[in-house]
Structure formats: structure tokens, C-alpha cells
Amino acid sequence: DARVRKLTFTGSTEVGKLLYEQAARTVKRVSLELGGLAPFLIFEDADLAQSVQQVMATKFRNTGQTCVCANRIYVHESIREAFVARLSDAVRALRVGDPLNDTTQIGPLVDQAGLDKVSAHVADAVAKGARAVVGGQVGEGLYFQPTVLVDVAAGMRILDEETFGPVAPVVGFTSDADVVAAANATPYGLAAYIWTRDLGRAFRVAEA
């Protein structure tokens, strides 16, 4: 309809492309927020306490159910073990409960399909060699335990698909080039996070 001047949509990339094509016929303005698979890159010079704090904020808000939630957490090998220990402590301390309670930090998944997807991603990762340091299990109702996965590697669904739940997969890296390649190894964009004290590196990596 030519009377519609602007279209906004939040949802899947597949549907976003269809809407983009249709909007082009009448040259509408379009704003699309499509599927994400946000990488969070933590370099060896990062402040551990602050990086954990930021991962908690970007991964577990709204029980991991936002388009810009961190989905893949890449940590330099020199600090990976220490980072996982701190992250695991923080995740264990999350308060799971009634979403109407002001003290609750982790509530239920949006529906059964959402819970099934989170559960399937974790099961696939564990079957292929990953390990749940914290959580990893379905709770009562539509709850999934806040989870930290280690020994995560390429070929696992959790690195290829948006999980949309409270699961933090941690992957080690050794070089800037390798982690940039890993971060870019997806058709999904939308958001990315970089944690380093080196402003030059931050700009280089962001541009790459």
C-alpha cells in the first residue's frame, strides 16, 4: 500500500528479506532487526572482573532472550581458565524464579518451542564434546538452568544458530586473526562485543 511510508520488523532474517523485497516495490523506508548470533571477544589484556560483568549483562538479560544477547563468547587462551572460573561463580549466583518477583534474575523461556531449542543446543554441544560447568539441565515448567559451556568447538549448533536462552558457550582463541574469522563465520550480524584495553585493537577488530 503506497500510503504506508515506513516498515519496521523484528524477527527472522528469512522473513526480513521477504518484507524488504515487498517494501521495495513502493520504495518504503525500512528498519529491520533480524536474527543475531552476537560474538563477545575478550582479549588477553581485558580486565577480568569487568569482562565477566559485561558478559553477564549481555548474555543473561531477559533470560538470554533478546536479539543482541551475546551468543558466542571468545576468550584468549591465556585468561580463559580464570575467566571461566569467575563467570561460573557469577552464573551460579543468579536468582532463578518467578518473573513477577523483583529479585528474580532468570525467568522462564517464552514458550515450549523456545525451551526445546535451548535444550537441543546444549544436548548437541555436550554430545560433540562440550561440558557444562554450571547448569545444563531443564528445570520445571519453561525454565532452563543458567549454563556455562566449555570445550565448545566449531560444528556445534550453539555456535551456528541463535540459542535465545540462558546459555553461555565459551571458546578459546590465540590470535586476533583467528577470533575475527570465527566471529565472522556466520550469516547473522546485528551486534558484536569487544573487550580490550587497547583502543587501536578495538577499532581494528570492530572494522574487521
Would you name the residues annotated as active-site residues?
Answer: 33, 67
- Residue 89: phi, psi to the nearest 5? -60, -40
Cβ proximity of 195 and 51 under 8 Å? yes
Cβ proximity of 145 and 100 under 8 Å? no
CA 22/CA 28 separation, integer angstroms: 9
Q: Which residues pair with 29 in a beta bridge?
A: 6
Strands 193-195 and 147-150: unpaired
- Report residue 24 as a C-alpha cell: 521495495
Strands 70-76 and 131-134: unpaired
